[in-house]
Structure formats: C-alpha cells, structure tokens
Amino acid sequence: MDVNAAINIFYGCVAAYHESGALDGLPSNPHAEGSVEHLLYEKCWTDNIQWHLEDAIRDPAIDPVRALELKRKIDRHNQRRTDIVERIDEWFFETFRSVKPVPEASLNTETPGWALDRLSILTLKIWHMQIEAQREDAGAEHRERCREKWRILREQEQDLADSIRQLLDEMASGKKRMKLYRQFKMYNDESLNPVLYRQTKD
C-alpha cells in the first residue's frame, strides 16, 4: 500500500462527501470491493459522517430528542469506524504474513490501520481548516490564525505519512512484527455495558 495513494483516496473521499450533500448516507465507493483501497475510502467516509454529526450535536439550541438521535448515530458510526480499521489491519496482517521477522524485531505502538485512521482524520482537519482560513464572513485575524493552523496540520500530515512509510518498510523487511488486536468496545455491547444488560435482565 502506497501512502501517497491512501492520502489521495482520503482527499477524494472528503471532496465526494461534501459534494454529495449527505449527512450519514453510505458512499458510492469507486474502488473494487475487497481491496484495501475500498476499505480506506469507506473508513474516510465514516470519518466524514462522524465529523458532521459531532458538529450537529453541539448546536446549543438542539432539541433533546434530536440530540439523543444523533448520539445513537455517532455511536453506531464509531463502531463502524473501528470495525473497518480492524479489517484494514487484517489486510496488512495477510500482506506481511510471509515475512519472517528478524530476532530483534519489535512491535510498533500502533498498527498500520490505526496510523492510517489518524491520517484520514487529519485529512478532514486540513480540509475544514482551509475553509476557515478562507471564510469571507470571518475577520482577518481569524483567517490568519487558521492559515497558520493549516500550515501546521500539513506538516503533521507529512510527518505522519513518513512515519507510516517507515513502519511499512520495517514490516516488509522483518524489522517490525505485526499482531492483530481488537478494540473490544464495551458501550455498544449489551453483554458488557451494565446499563444495557441490567435493563435486559429487568
């Protein structure tokens, strides 16, 4: 997986989401189903949905019933995001399965999937910060602050992309080992969330 290709997928997805006018609809994914590119696009689309749902729920005048509806959607999409990242990691695990680690091979603090998760969300930050930096109804000071933040975010994007490239290179050469871990989110699970399983018991 080429990191530049992932970045292009993310920016293409962000643009398509905003052109669609959807809040939480499913994407028309342009990549072949079963490919890692398909998963990355689906992941980024879910991040777009999460971003805008989080904006909407922060409306000070929001109706409480609407807020609860949005919170439930946020939870569902957050679980979806986690599931997709784990599928991305499964793809990387299979990709590097035949690589024999060197004796001193170490584990990374995060998997390729979760590193790409951060890169996807960073793409969204960059996109929205650029909008803020160009807002005609905002003052010059606001636009200047946002331009500086945009510059820093682009620097972070470059640094993170370089780090992911290094991680993938080290996995390909056996200098890093890959293990699959699950997030085991508990709040959506009726058998693990006490509020939910106590209601079921009652």
Q: Read off the pLDDT of residues 32-91 as tens digits, 9 standing for 90 and up.
A: 999 999 999 999 999 999 999 999 999 999 999 999 999 999 999 999 999 999 999 999
pLDDT at 191 over 80: no
Q: Where are the domains of the chain?
A: 3-186
Q: What is the pLDDT of residue 186?
A: 60
Which helix (H) or strand (E) covers residue 177, if one does?
strand 176-177
Q: How confident is the model at residue 196 (pLDDT cuts 50, 70, 90)?
A: low
What pTM was estimated for this model as a whole? 0.89
Q: What is the pLDDT of residue 22?
A: 80
Mean per-residue pLDDT for 135-151?
94
Q: What is the pLDDT of residue 36?
A: 97
Please report where in the chains the tokens 């989110």 appear, as a residue: 185
Of 50, 178, 172, nearest in space to 114 by CA: 178
Express as a percent the part of the chain with pLDDT over 70.
91
Q: Contact 50/78 with Cβ under 8 angstroms? A: yes
Least confident of 21-25, 136-140, 165-169, 188-192: 188-192
Q: Where are the alpha helices (DSSP H) in 96-139?
A: 112-133
How do strand 106-107 and strand 176-177 relate by DSSP bridges?
Answer: parallel
Token readout for 42 is 């689906």
Q: What is the pLDDT of residue 200?
A: 58
Q: How confident is the model at residue 134 (pLDDT cuts 50, 70, 90)?
A: very high
Q: Contact 174/122 with Cβ under 8 angstroms? A: no
